[in-house]
A and B are shown apart, each in its own frame.
Chain A
Amino acid sequence: MRPGKRLRAYAARVCSEKTMERLIDPVIADLQAEYAAATDIRRRWLALLGGYIAFAKVSVWCGLVGLREARRNWSAEDRQGLLNTLWLSGCAIVIVSVPLWLLELPTTRDLLESMRDTEFPPTTSVQRMMFYLVPAILPLSVPVGLAMGIALTATGRALSRRLIAAIVLVALVTSAVSVMILGWITPATNQLYREAIVGEYVTKGDRELTLPQLNRLVQPDVRARLGVPPDRYRSFVFEFHHRLGFAIAPLTFCAFALVLPLRRRAKRATGVAAVGVAGVGYLMMRWLGEALSVSDSVPPQLGAWIPQLALLLTTIVVGIPRTINRRRA
């Protein structure tokens, strides 16, 4: 099969005729022409890579233009669909967050109790400690809750392109907020949590470093200058990539939730359950990735991205039967 044919078919579903003619087709034509002209496998791969990157850039541009047009032609049904998604997602986020948050309560209480008999007993309260833990819960509970809201709204009804674009935009904004939380807020509250227990300044660990700090530490020249040991360096790299992966989790979970209604006989309860299972699976993959990374079985970068890759693969597997059915039809 010629490269780009499937991409074009996907684009044709969401793009207008004019956009296809002016933007998508020329990019695909370039990709195919370069691929055909490539004399060896290396050039073919380069042609594919260049073509796919160009396609991604054009797609982002089309998405932005589509959103601008969608805002103009917003129907009452779409508006209601978006409001439902936001409302249900908000409820789901709270429902997912609270149990996850309460799971930390026994540990926190035990920690405080164990420190009471020491030379410097903590002066903080359990409530304050639990408050410090809220940002650490959000990066997982928000994508899962958002996906549940989407699954509840999307299952059993046909979503218009405008509504899908708006939902993706919500996921993008959530992703940007996640970057802030994971990059700056969680490290700060983690550090406050640790200092509250000990009662004085504690040296920052991997999870207490901000994203820019981690980014500097994973640079090879900085590593050489500071003489960071290999296992510590692996830990920094894993933490950095893990946070990046977590930051785009709203997008991957959103994609997963949008694909779920494509399955025949999809029901709301099944969709929500599937998102819940995906959330648990995501956490398990995260532990697996960390274990593999710590044991040096896989590069820390790969270990950190295992949950995202697993979720993306699942999304593709769930979406493929529909694609095949359409092609047969």
Chain B
Amino acid sequence: MARRLPHPPRLSTVESLILELLIANDEAMYGLQLVAASRRRLKRGTIYVTLGRMEEKGFITSRLEPAPPEAGGLPRRLYEPTTLGRRVLAAWTAAAQHFSPRFAQ
């Protein structure tokens, strides 16, 4: 009987956009920074749902900001890509270029 191969990691458009933004930025980013950098392609109401899902998949990692903000509010969460996330994005982009060069542009 043929062995079922495991599914390769999949990236949605929003997930790949988030990974691109995180990799392009050398430092870890806040959710709102991602929203601002995406030029309205990401929405602040839904970004954390996507970020949470990506964290579960192991594409990104998060941590609370080290120092509490001056206003004394809740500490914000910083996100950065993992090695797996970088690899998956690279593979995904390469596949997109291979199958549809125009789409990859």
Contacts and interface: CB of A to CB of B under 8 A. Distances in A.
Interface of A: 2, 4, 8, 22-23, 25-30, 32-36, 50, 53-54, 56-58, 61
Interface of B: 30-32, 43-46, 48-49, 51-52, 55, 69-77
A33 B45 contact: no
Contacts of B30: 30
B71 A25 contact: no
8 contacts: A25-B74, A26-B51, A27-B48, A29-B73, A30-B44, A33-B71, A36-B69, A53-B45
Contact of A22 (B32, B55, B74, B76): B55
Given A22-B55, A33-B76, A36-B71, A57 B31 contact: no
Contacts of A30: 30-32, 44, 76
Contact of A25 (B43, B69, B72, B77): B77
Contact of B48 (A4, A23, A32, A36): A23
3 interchain residue pairs of minimum CB distance: A57-B45, A32-B73, A36-B71
Listed residue (B30, B43, B44) with the most chain A CB atoms within 10 angstroms of its CB = B44
Contacts of A29: 73-77
B32 A58 contact: no
B52 A34 contact: no
A64 B83 CA distance: 32
A317 B75 CA distance: 32
Nearest to B73: A32
Contact of A2 (B51, B73, B75): B73
Nearest to B76: A29
A33 B69 contact: yes
B55 A61 contact: no
A56 B45 contact: yes
A33 B71 CA distance: 7
Contacts of A57: 43, 45-46
A23 B72 contact: no
A46 to B, nearest CB: 12
Contacts of B48: 22-23, 26-27, 58
Contact of A26 (B43, B71, B72, B76): B76
A4 B74 CA distance: 10
A22 B30 CA distance: 13
Contacts of B76: 26, 29-30, 33
B79 to A, nearest CB: 9
Contacts of B45: 27, 53-54, 56-58
